[in-house]
Amino acid sequence: MCGFAGFLGGVAAHGQLGDEAVLRRMADAIEYRGPDDSGCWVDPAQRVGLGHRRLSIVDLSPAGHQPMGSLSGRYVIAFNGEIYNHLECRAALARAGRVTPWRGHSDTETLLASFEAWGIQGALERCVGMFAFAVWDRDARTLTLGRDRLGEKPLYYGWQGEGRDATFIFASELKALNPHPAFKPNIDRNAMCLLMRHNYIPAPYSIFKGISKLEPGCLLSVSLAHPEPTIRKYWDMVNAAQAGLLKPFSGTPEQAVDELELLAKRAVLQQMAADVPLGAFLSGGIDSSTVVALMQAQSSRPIRTFTIGFNEAGFDEAVHAKAVARHLGTEHSELYVTPSQAMQVIPRLPSLYCEPFADSSQIPTFLVSQLARQHVTVSLSGDAGDELFCGYNRYHMTDKLWRNLARIPLPLRALIAKGIITCSPSAWDRLAGLIPGAPRHSNVGHKLHKGAGVLTSTSVDDLYLGMVSHLRNPEEWVIDGKEPPSRLSGCRPNLEGLGAVERMMVLDAISYLPDDILVKLDRAGMAVSLESRVPFLDHRVVEFACTLPLTYKLREGQTKWPLRQVLNRYVPRQLIDRPKMGFGVPLDEWLRGALREWAEELLGEARLAREGFFHPAPIRKIWAEHLSGRRNWMAQLWNVLMFQAWLEAQTA
C-alpha cells in the first residue's frame, strides 16, 4: 500500500530541483501511507511530476521503487494498491509473446508491461485488484488517473490556479495537495450539505471547491493540449447488476453456495499473497468469520486474527470472535478498550481523515487497525458482505414499510405526520409508559418523529433516501449551502428492471460502500501503515453475487443466506447465530459525559456565528435536547462535531 501525488502544468517552481522539492513535500504529507521508501520523477519540459511514498508489501527490494518507468520508457507510473493476479498477467504476457526481462517481482512492473501490451484500459480489464494510480504517457503526452472497480483506494484531483499558473494536481489524500503553491483550500458549502445528510461526502465531491474524487471503475485522461478531463468507465456496478438480472444464476440454491465458496476461496487465497506478515480482522460476525475460515482452510499455519472488545453492554462482540477463533485454531489477539482509550482517538480524527468524515465506527476501526499493526502489515477484512448479499435489515424493512405506506393516500399520510410531530418526543415517551403491558422501548418519541419524516415519501426510493439520511433538509443548517445532486438524489443511475431491495443494495454499493465503509477502512489502516484488503470485493465475487436472485440472498427468513451456508461448512451455526450488532461505541452517552466539554467548545453559539458555516440556532437546539436526554441526536451532532474538529485542525 502506498500514497502518491503529482501535478501537470503550471509554472516551474525553480527548475527541476524546485519541482522535486514541491513533490517531496506533497508526498511526505502522507508519509504514513508509505514509510518504507520515497521517490519523485519530473519532466520539466512537459511540466509533469509524480511523487510517491511506498509501503513495501510485494517485492521488498529496490526493484519495487516508484515512480517506475516501463521497459520501453513510454510510461511512468505512481501506483497505490495491489494487483492480486499479477503473476497470471505475467503468464498471459508470455503466452502473447511479450517476453519481458523482469527486473523484480512487483505487481507495479507487471502493470506497466500490461499497459504496453494491451493499453491501459485493456490491462485493467484483465486485472484483479484494488488500486489507484497516475501514469504519464510520454508518447501521447497524456496523464491518466485510474481507480479500482469498487473504490477501495482513494484519488483526488482538480485544476487550481488561473492562466499560466493553472495546474492540474492530484493525490491519494487531500492533505498531499496542500504543499502545492497552486492549491487553494476553499471550503465547498454545498458539499457540507451532503456531509450533514450522510455523514460522508460522496464522490465526485470533496470538501474543497475545484477538487473532485475520481469515482470507482473510472479512468481520467488529461493533457495540456486538452485540459478538460475526459472520464470513462471501464467497469460499472450498475451494469454488473443489470447483467446479472438479464442472465441470472440458473442452478439450485445449494449449487449457488458451492460456487460462492469456490469464488470466495480463490479471492481469499490471492489476497493472502504478501512478502510481509499477514492477518485478519475478526468480529465474530458472518462476514469476517467467513473470510477467516477460508484463510485458515488454505493456510498451513495459524492465521493471526484481531478483535477489539468493549465492556459496555450492546457494544462488545469480542467474546463471539474469541469463540470463532478458538474453533478455527487461529492465533488470536484481543484488546478490551476502556472509554478513556477510545476517546483518546477522537483528537486524532481530523489528522486521520483528509476531509470531514463522521461515521463514529471510525473509532473502533482505528483501534483494531492499531492492534493489528503491532503484529502484521496486511490485514484482510469481511466488509461488503452486507451490500452484496442483502445483509442490512433496512433493505427489507424499507420495502415492507413502503408496501404498507403506498396504500394510504399521500394527503392523509401528511396529516398523520403533522399530528405526530405536534406532540413532543418526551410526551410520546410518557404516553407509551402509561400503556399497560406495553414493551418498554427507549426513545419511542424520537422514533415516532423520525418515522413521521418518511410518511410523506413519494416512492420507495424516496423513502430509502429518508431512511439513510441524518437530515432531510441540510440546507437549513449550512449557511449559503445548496445540496448538490448525488447518486441517491438528483442523479440516480438507471436501475430499470431491478426490484426495490436490489436497487437499495446497488445504491449502497456505489455510494455508502466506497464513500463511507471503504474510506473508514483505508484511512484507519493507513494511519498506522497497515494495508487492508477486502476479498468480497474481488469483482468476480461481486459479479456472481449480482446473478443471484433475491430469494437466494434473503432465504428462510435469513439475510445473507449464501454466506451463512458457506460459513456453516467451517464453523458451527451456534457460534454465529445471534442478532446483528453494529461496530460502534456508546457515543451518545460520551457526549453527555466525558466529551461534553470538548463538544460544547466546538458547538458554542458565538463560535458557530463567528466561523459562519452553520446557523447556530438549530444546532444549539438539538445539543440542548441531547444533553437533557429527551432525544438522541448523536448522529447529527457527530456530523457537525467532525466538521468543526476538522476545521480547527486546518487553521491550527
- Catalytic site positions: 2
CA-to-CA distance for 321 and 308, rounded, in angstroms? 9
Please name every residue paired with 274 in a beta bridge, in sequence order, or none if there are none.
none
CB atoms closer than 10 angstroms to residue 373: 18
CA-to-CA distance for 623 and 137, rounded, in angstroms? 54
CB atoms closer than 10 angstroms to residue 561: 21
Question: Which residue from 203, 221, 220 is spatially nearest to 212, judged by alpha carbons?
Answer: 203
- Grid coordinates given for 544: 456472481
CA-to-CA distance for 609 and 135, rounded, in angstroms? 45
Question: Which residue from 421, 481, 506 is spatially nearest to 456, judged by alpha carbons?
Answer: 421
CA-to-CA distance for 497 and 489, rounded, in angstroms? 19
Burial 243-275 (b: 16+ CB within 10 A, else e): ebbeeebeeebeebbebbbebbbbbbbbbbbbb
Sign, CA dihedral 580-586-587-588, equals positive
Q: Is 119 left (phi over 0), alpha (psi -120 to 50) or beta?
A: left
Name, in order, each residue with C-beta under 8 angstroms of 356's C-beta and a sequence gap of 6 or more: 192, 195, 201, 207, 639, 642, 643, 646, 647
| DSSP codes of every residue in 258-324 | HHHHHHHHHHHHHHT--SS-EEEE--SSHHHHHHHHHHHHT-SSPPEEEEEEESSTTS--HHHHHHH
Rg for the chain, CA atoms, rounded: 25
75, 139 Cβ separation under 8 angstroms: no
**DSSP H/E element including 604:** none
CA-to-CA distance for 53 and 31, rounded, in angstroms? 6
CA-to-CA distance for 7 and 5, rounded, in angstroms? 7
Classified as helix, coil or strand, 54 is strand
- C-alpha distances in Å from residue 607, one per residue of 185, 599, 615, 621: 21, 12, 11, 15
* Helix axes of 616-628 and 634-651: crossing angle, nearest 10 degrees: 120
Q: How long is the chain? A: 652
394, 468 Cβ separation under 8 angstroms: yes
CB atoms closer than 10 angstroms to residue 100: 16
Please provide residue 614's backbone torsions phi and psi, each rounded to the nearest 5 degrees. -120, 145
Question: Which residue from 225, 582, 527 is spatially nearest to 392, judged by alpha carbons?
Answer: 582
